A and B are shown apart, each in its own frame.
Chain A
Amino acid sequence: MIGTLTTLIWRDVRQSYASGGTWLPVVFYLSAATLFPFVVGPDRDLLLQTGGGILWIAALLATLLPVDRLIQPDLDNGIYDQLITRGLTDELIAFARLISHWLSFGPPLLFAAFLASGLIGLEGVPLWTLLASLAIATPALAGLAVMIAAITAGLTGASALGGLLLIPLAIPLLIFGAGSLSDVTGNALLFLGAVSLLLVAITPFAAGAALKAARE
């Protein structure tokens, strides 16, 4: 079981880093951070006050970028069919996809956030709070991407629909994540952790059910 999981995850991660798809969210993220000071002006205080929130929104949008490549290709070439024929469950396949997607999405996004914070001038406690909140949220963002990819697989206009699906599901993450930036008690981070755990926990089942439905 563990061997199978490792094989599945390793294939996805290697493919993702080899195809360069991993760096797309990073480039997007840095572009957003570069453009932001042009929009609000170079006022340092204003940038510090709003910068964290903008970086959070950018993280959310970066989540959408890889959605069309997460499930659809393997569904099309029958890899999931073959895995089911071998007796694997849809939930296990979705779980493996969640882990492999996080491995190729989470660390690069955190790296990009670190660089982007420098562009905006975040440092000290706000910088570490932002990185901590993103670190807590990336598994949930990866989970949302996998769920949306599985639900929209095979539909025309999947990417537009994906955006619509992401927004309501991501609001709790955004509230507590961006909220943690101005919250000195640290409670927002705890709530963020709770929401993140919940989304991660339902991802294998929701995405698994969608994969099963896609076969019908």
Chain B
Amino acid sequence: MNGGQSTESEKALVADKLCCVRGDRMLFKDLDFRLETGMAGLLTGPNGVGKSSLLRLIAGLLDPFAGTVSAPASKALCDDKLPLDEHLSLENALQFWVKLDQRSDADMLNAMEHAGLDHLAEVPVRYFSTGQRQRVRLARTYLSGAKLWLLDEPANGLDTASVDRLGSVLQAHLKDGGIILAASHIPLPINFDLNLVLEPMVEAT
């Protein structure tokens, strides 16, 4: 599973000649970039170009076809899935991740507050609206305490106030020495140190 990952350079996210193949299609190749502590990267490109695949690859969920990626061991992935038990209340459902990530209840309250969910703590997750679900995904990412945040369309379904709040949390994470790589077509209110534009591959045949 950790095929292309080396243990050195744990502090930065480094991709070296990274190449990704899904199905029979090559999504991108020879991708090089480097994000140091406190840096944020923005990933853009048309649909289906491989943004989510790149994030999953860095998260260790896919193996690179060629090249290597080295990432900090503590990383959090925020994608379109909601990994919580829907019949439980928000705080009870989050408890599972609190225990797994060895966080405290104070961290959980903090994360819920930053995502604007503190008033929903006792509501079962299945009643949440689209925007609220997105805030739950973000809260779970804040809660993870991970150094590297991989965000797949983090602003999807959020209202403007929530996007602003997301921006300030991201800013604080960078200040604390975190790394962020976000794929987003909605402008995020932070300064990105790296703009990574994925282009559709032209078929060689």
A and B pair up: yes
- Whether A90 lies near B76 (C-beta < 8 A) is no
The distance from the CB of A182 to the nearest CB of chain B, in whole angstroms, is 46
Interface range, A side: 20 to 34
Decide yes or no whether B100 CB sits under 8 A from chain A: yes
Contacts of A215 in B (CB 8 A): 61-62
**Is B108 among interface residues, defined by CB-CB distance under 8 A?**
no
Total A-B Cβ pairs within 8 A: 53
Stretch from A28-36, A79-87, A137-145, A153-161 forming part of the interface with B = A79-87
| B interface residues, Cβ below 8 angstroms from A | 1, 56, 59-62, 73, 75-77, 79, 81-87, 96-97, 99-102
Is there contact, CB below 8 Å, between B84 and A81? no
If A7-B100, A81-B79 are given as contacts, then 16 extra A-B residue pairs at C-beta distance below 8 Å, sorted by A number, are: A8-B100, A11-B85, A11-B96, A19-B87, A77-B81, A77-B82, A77-B84, A78-B82, A81-B77, A82-B97, A83-B100, A85-B61, A85-B75, A86-B101, A90-B1, A215-B62
Report A-chain residues with C-beta under 8 Å of the C-beta of B79: 78, 81
Interfacial chain B residues near A15, Cβ < 8 Å: 85
Query: Given A78-B82, A78-B83, A216-B62, are A85 and B77 also a contact pair (CB < 8 Å)?
Result: yes
> In the assembly, what is the distance between CA of A81 and CA of B75, in Å?
12
A168 and B54 alpha carbons, distance in the complex (Å): 40
Q: Give the distance in Å from the alpha carbon of A89 to the alpha carbon of B75 in the complex.
A: 15
* Residues of chain A within 8 A of B97, CB atoms compared: 82
Complex-state Cα separation, A165 to B99, whole angstroms: 36
- Known interface pairs A7-B99, A7-B100, A215-B61. Does A85 touch B76 (Cβ–Cβ under 8 Å)? yes
